[in-house]
Structures are given as C-alpha cells and as structure tokens.
Amino acid sequence: MTTKDTAHQPVIATSPADRFDRYLALEARLVVSLRRISVPLLRGAIGVVFIWFGALKIDNTSPVSDFVANTLPWFDRAWVVPALGVFEMLLGLAMIVGRYLTIVCVALTCHLVGTFLALVMQPSVTFQHGNPFLLTTEGEFVIKNLVFIAAGLVVAARFNNSRKTG
C-alpha cells in the first residue's frame, strides 16, 4: 500500500471569501476583455445597420421610404431618400473603417437628431391618437434613434480619449 504525500497538493479555495476573490479576479479579466472589444463591436454594429438601411433607401426598397419623404416635403422625394441612403452608407463605412471618428460621430448624431423631425412633421403617423406616450411603429422607429445617438457618443468619447480607432 502506498501513501500519498498531501503536503504538496494544491489548496482549493473553498471558503466564501476565497470564492468571492476568485469571482472578482474573473470579473476583472472579463472587464479587460470587454473594454478591448466592446467599442470596435459597437462601431461594427452601427456600421452594418447604417450600410443596410442606407442600401435599402438607395434601392427604394426601404419600408420607411414614404415616411422619410413625407417628413421632408420640401425636397423632391425622387432624390432625397436615395441621397439619405448614400449618406447613411458612407456613415456606416466610416464607422467600420474607424478613421476620423469624432467627425463621423458628429455627422451621425446630426443625422439622427434630424430624424426626430418626423415627430413634428407627422404626429398623426408617429403617435396614436395624438398621444406622445403612445407611439406607433413609425414613432418607435424614430425614438430608437436615441440608442444610436448614445452609441455614437460612446464611440466618439472612446476615440477622443485614446486617439485610437477602437
């Protein structure tokens, strides 16, 4: 019969304090990874959405083409929607490429703030029964741009602080 030398065995942390310390160490490693990848992923996601939505406007297959054109009645609908599509695609490509992100994010924010004009120009389309708390599908489409504005500001702030593209 052989005996095992247990003096040199690794000690497994079993106390609640040890488990909590291991959790904190794991969380710290996860946060480091997330800080490294989150803004590039955010830029890529914004870029893909803007390229996609812009392409649909250029191709005149966007479900919001009429909505956009009716929001801007002083422009010729034959070119305003495709022009916005081109602009959106350029913004999307610029987000993915990652150059001049501060300027890109300012342009993105201005473009998105402009979408709120629909709430003023077409309240009967964006609100149910004129109630600003009861959005229609079109109203939700506009209001969700608050998330894109915030995301653009996060990208701009990160770029400005680090002078890196991601």
Residues 6+ apart with CB under 8 A from 55: 85, 89
Q: How far apart are CA 64 and CA 150, in angstroms?
A: 22
pLDDT in tens, the chain (166 residues): 555 555 666 666 578 888 888 888 889 999 998 888 999 999 999 999 999 999 999 999 999 999 999 999 999 999 999 999 999 999 999 999 998 999 999 999 999 999 999 999 999 999 999 899 999 999 999 999 999 999 999 999 987 544 444 4
- The pLDDT value recorded for residue 24 is 86
Q: What is the pTM of this model?
A: 0.80
pLDDT at 78: 93
Non-local CB neighbours of 49 within 8 Å, separated by 6+ positions:
92, 148
- In the block, which residue shows the tokens 């422009």? 75
